[in-house]
Amino acid sequence: MTPPVFCLFRLLPVLFLLIGTRAMAQVEVTQVRVRQVNSQRIEIIYNIRGNLPGDSVYVYAQNRQGRVLLPGKAYITGDLGMNIIPGPNRRVYWNLLGNGYEVEGEIRATVLVKRTGLNPPRPAAVTQSPRPVPIRPEAVTTEPTRPPSTPAVADTTGLPRQRRAGPGWALLSVVAPGIGNIFVQTPRPVIGFRPMVTVGCYGLMAYGLIQRQQSREQYRLYEQQRNVTEAEPFYDQANQLHQRYYIATRAAAVVWATDVVLTFLRGVRNTRQPAPGVSWHPGWQAGQPTVVLQYSF
């Protein structure tokens, strides 16, 4: 055997060892944090290392009742799918409200990595909630290799359009009481009996104006009478009609103003983000003591 060929055969075990070590490289996903951006969207932040360009990163979540929340392609964007650069603070934006889920309550997000190489490592999932619940980091996991499939990667050209539920809807309640309040309800508009507020306000106003017109007619008849005995019934009738006008129009004004104020306050509350708080307590992960952080939003 010639020396070059002999050297090549001696190097083969080393090459196989390097290839096997590369194939068994661990993908590590750590420090997954979930932050509520507003009343519609959440932001999932995570650190990742050891992944390859062909590995696929995807997420899902669970609510407090244990229901699995799967992201739709049109409602999630950010560092998902293939060609994710390893490093800290990878970000994913998910429009839960547009996806048909409520943002309020406990949400636990899970980040998974699908390997494309040989001998994929054990899957890793780290979860956390954006509401006042403790962050519970768990062991990092990946799924075994499956046939190529379309990853859940959203269009990164922009985030989905958000529904506005701010105080500006109070202007609609000025024109149509009850209607503006429909559009400040979350997570989606709620009609209910609110159109009856519009009908009631305009009905009371119309009734009051009719009573005022009749009161003026009775008062004119009262002035045309020649003696007190004949004039008194017209005066009493004019008085009663005027009282009905006064009560009906004032009641309509109170309901009207109340609806405008409530709509404005609800809109302000929808746009306000509470100040976050942080607390910690000891925990246990993968057989090692850890510190569990609790974020309150």
- Region 143-164: what's the mean pLDDT? 54
Q: Is the pLDDT of residue 213 over 90?
A: yes
Q: What is the pLDDT of residue 156?
A: 46
Nearest to 54 by CA among 151, 154, 155: 151
Q: pTM of the prediction?
A: 0.43
For the ranges 1-15, 126-140, 207-221, 273-287, the lowest mean pLDDT is seen at: 126-140
Nearest to 22 by CA among 120, 113, 114, 124: 120
Rg of the chain over CA atoms, in angstroms? 34
User: 239 or 11: which carries more pLDDT confidence?
Assistant: 239
What is the average pLDDT score of the chain?
77
**pLDDT digit string (tens) for 35-48?**
888 888 888 999 99
SS3 104: coil
Q: Is the pLDDT of residue 285 over 80?
A: no
Q: What is the pLDDT of residue 9?
A: 53
